[in-house]
Amino acid sequence: MLNLRRIGGLAVAAVTVATTTILSTGHASAASNWWSDPNSCTNVKTAVRKDFGGYTVEVRYGTCGGAQYGWGRVTNYGSGAYVRFEVDVDGDRAFDGYDLRYAPTRNYTSGYRTSSNSLRAFRACVVFSEKETCLYSGSTTAWW
């Protein structure tokens, strides 16, 4: 006999995992460039910040496992808010990869390795749907 409660719980878990999985395309998908939990990083600083409707969204950076990574973070968020971190690796200032997190569950994204090459840049934003990007400039930091 099927345990429908267990199946429902597994469906919720699958949705949660899908929401917190690194979603990326193009060159930014190299797994070695991502740091899963920058909460463990040291020497953390804020590179750029944007205040939007009571929310504060930031691109942060720090030392993770001996290398520097950048990531997105949102503070003062409400339910329904996501923090999205976009990575540009080819200098066109369009995202090549991104990470998206549901803010009430985790208010910061995974990190992406920084580079001294000016082609690489990051930005972060607050969105209210998993399908939104950082194109709306009101909630988006400058590229860093």
At residue 136, the pLDDT reads 81
pTM as predicted: 0.80
pLDDT band at 144 (very low <50, low <70, confident <90, very high): very high
* Sign of torsion over alpha carbons 54, 47, 69, 140: positive
25-72 pLDDT per residue, tens: 444 556 689 999 999 999 999 999 999 989 999 999 999 999 999 999
Q: Does a structural domain hold residue 115? A: yes
113-141 pLDDT per residue, tens: 999 999 999 999 999 999 999 988 789 99
At residue 21, the pLDDT reads 39
Q: Does a structural domain hold residue 88? A: yes
Q: Does a structural domain hold residue 144? A: no
Domain that holds residue 62: 4-139
Q: Does a structural domain hold residue 98? A: yes
- 85 versus 26: which is more confidently predicted? 85
At residue 28, the pLDDT reads 59
Please count the structural domains in the chain.
1
Q: Does a structural domain hold residue 46? A: yes
